[in-house]
Structure 1
Amino acid sequence: MARRLMQRNLLRYLRSKGLSDVTMYGHLHSVDAISDDLQASRREGRKLVILGYSQGGFHAVKVARELERRGVEIALLVSIAAGGLGRVFPGRWGFDPRNVPTNVDVCLNFFSQGDLLGCDQSHQMNEAFGSSATQRVENHMFHAHEGVSHIDLVRCYPEERIKPAVRTQVIERIMTEISGLNTSGVQHI
């Protein structure tokens, strides 16, 4: 379900904004296969952006860890709604998904207290933290009273249905960070 949601919304939105080299993987894709693709893109001189939503947010961190092991730098890691009921598979992940690997320059982590699927009850459990003092990690939380659901965090179409707070705090924030990278390609999980 999340894969189709991402295809119809955030993936489509990123491509419509000129990021034609966006690739989409699912959270069930092999970490090694995704890492191979990303490593090849990095060798071509591209800056890597890994963006994951829901279970894909956990998977994005797992891929970042594998790329750390390989010595591959990641310009931007984005995690959206990766918590809550997604943690029912802790054995699958085998690591703390909030600990940002050292090869990540910038991490943007988005979650909403009104999202039972992607947010832990204690907001501190949702906050990402860096492994190195040189990293920039930003945690963006929507309070429960803002009414931002799991789907609202990535809904981009029709554009008039994007919640104003999500537009400015999630969509525009991601686009600003990507634009600052001057990337010719973005890889997306």
Structure 2
Amino acid sequence: MSGVNGIVEMIERKTSEKVEEIIKKAEDYKAKRIAKAEEEAERRKQSIIDEARREAQALLKRYEASAKLRAKHRVLELKSKIMTEVLDEAVEKAKQVRTQPDYKVFLTRMVVEGADALEAPEMELAFPAGQEKVVSISELTKAVKKSTGRDVKLTLSKEPVNASAGVVVRTPDNRRWVDNTVEARVQRLENQLRDAVSRILFRQK
């Protein structure tokens, strides 16, 4: 019986050792799987955090860009509004030239400039209604000759020009003309005026 018992004990011992080995391997495998799962979870967590951070940064950049664009548009709107107000005020002041004591001098200069540009022997002058009385044709003729050295014939148009002040100098056939009304001169100078106003109002500090 002792031989049989010895065999049984040996089998039980080996079986126990095998079971322990299997359990140990299972526990090791379990621990490795848990560690790997934890690493994967940590990696995925960090990936999610990084992705969220990137999205937040991208969103912030888009917001900042949008805010800067809105601010730029607002500045441009204010700039345009101020420039328009300044130009409108300049135009109104220019229109008031007809009420100034030296308006006759202004009209004479406008006629001379127009006549000099046209270089025609005969020209017609169109003034705003009632303003043809400010100057005389004879005085204007003398002023043109003095400035250009040419003899010219000036006549008064029967139709007034639709303007606040100034004059339109044109050939009798109305094929060539120089519009020296206040409105036309302001329009021609508008870009220069805008540049000048912009430099004054928005110069770099």
Give the TM-score, by structure 2 length: 0.23
Structure with max Cα Rg: 2
Query: Bigger relative contact order, structure 1 or 2, given CA contacts below 8 A and separation 6+?
Result: 1
